[in-house]
Amino acid sequence: MDQNLAFHVRNQFLAAWKFCLSFLKREWELRDYPVSIRELENVPGYRGTRFKQYRYLAYILKWGAMRGMGNTQAEALRELDTALETARRNRPRMPRPGTRVPVQVQYASQERVSAHAELADDFTSRILELEWAWLTDKSSLWDFDSDETDDAMHAKIKEVYGVDVSDIKSGNLAEILERIAAARKPKDND
C-alpha cells in the first residue's frame, strides 16, 4: 500500500474511532481528539530570522487551523494543547472529536489604516517597495521584512517621511502611519 494512502487511511480510522469514543463523555481534552504529528522538512537556504523553522507539526485531524509546532513532538503537542484551550475559551461549544471543523477566516480590521488610505498606498510603494499590499490594523513591518531587526526600515521611513518610528517596537503599521500623518499636520499657531 502506498505510504500516503496508508497515512490517510490511518487518520480516517483514528478520526472515526475518536468520534465514537466522544459519546462516552461530555467535555473533551486534547487526548480525546484525533491528533497527528508530522515531521517537517528543513528548507535549505532559508534565511528568515524571524520566522523560525520547526521540526514537528501537531494538528487535530479534520480541523483546518488547529495546530502546534515545535522542535520536539512534545513541544508541538504542548503548543497544540495551548491552541485548543484558547479555542475553548472563545467558543460557546467545542466541536465533537472526529468531526470536520471548517476554517473560519476572520480578517483584522482596517479602520486605522483606512483612515490614512493615501499615505498607506504611498508607504506601500516607497517603503515596502510593493505595488500593493493587504494592510490591516494588525500588520507590522515584520510581515514585510525578513531582516533580524527593523533598523533598515526605520532608517528608510525617517529618510522618506522625516519621522522617527524606531520606538514603535511592535512595528505596527497602523501606529506608524498615524505617527507619520500626525507629523504632516500643520501646527496650530495659537
Together in a domain, 119 and 70: no
- Cα 3 to Cα 30: distance, rounded to the nearest angstrom: 26
Domain membership flag for residue 56: yes
Together in a domain, 15 and 64: yes
Domain membership flag for residue 165: yes
Which residue do the cell numbers 512595528 mark?
171
Domain membership flag for residue 31: yes
Together in a domain, 68 and 12: yes
Cβ neighbour number for residue 15 with a 10 Å cutoff: 19
Least Cα distance to 70 among 84, 56, 49 occurs for 56
Q: What is the pTM of this model?
A: 0.56
Which of 30, 59, 90 is a domain's end point?
A: 90
Domain membership flag for residue 98: no
- Cα 139 to Cα 115: distance, rounded to the nearest angstrom: 15
Together in a domain, 77 and 116: no
Which of 55, 90, 125 is a domain's end point?
A: 90
Together in a domain, 8 and 86: yes
What is the structure's pLDDT at 111? 94
C-alpha cell at 186: 500643520
Please give the order of strands across the beta sheet that includes 35-39: 35-39, 56-60, 67-70
What is the structure's pLDDT at 49? 46
CATH of the domain at 63: 3.30.160
- DSSP letter for each residue of 28-61: --GGGS-EEEEEPPP-TT---SSS---SEEEEET
Domain membership flag for residue 189: no
Domain membership flag for residue 105: no
Give pLDDT tens digits along the chain (190 positions): 677 888 889 999 999 999 999 999 999 999 999 999 988 876 555 554 445 568 899 999 998 778 898 889 999 999 999 999 988 888 888 999 999 988 766 778 899 999 999 999 999 999 999 998 889 999 988 888 777 788 899 999 999 999 999 999 889 999 999 999 999 887 655 4
Together in a domain, 11 and 83: yes
Helices (runs of H) and strands (runs of E) counted in the chain = 6, 3
Domain membership flag for residue 102: no
> Could you give the angle at the alpha carbon of 105 between the alpha carbons of 101 and 111, nearest 5°?
155
What is the structure's pLDDT at 190? 44
Least Cα distance to 59 among 88, 36, 82, 32 occurs for 36
What is the structure's pLDDT at 17? 95
Together in a domain, 48 and 9: yes
What is the structure's pLDDT at 125? 94
Domain membership flag for residue 106: no
Together in a domain, 37 and 81: yes
Contacts of residue 101, defined as CB under 8 A and 6 or more positions apart, other chains included, come to 62, 63, 64, 66, 95
Domain tally for the chain?
A: 2
Identify whether the C-beta of residue 57 lies closer than 8 Å to the C-beta of residue 66: no
Name the residue range of residue 39's domain.
3-90
* DSSP assignment letter at 101: B
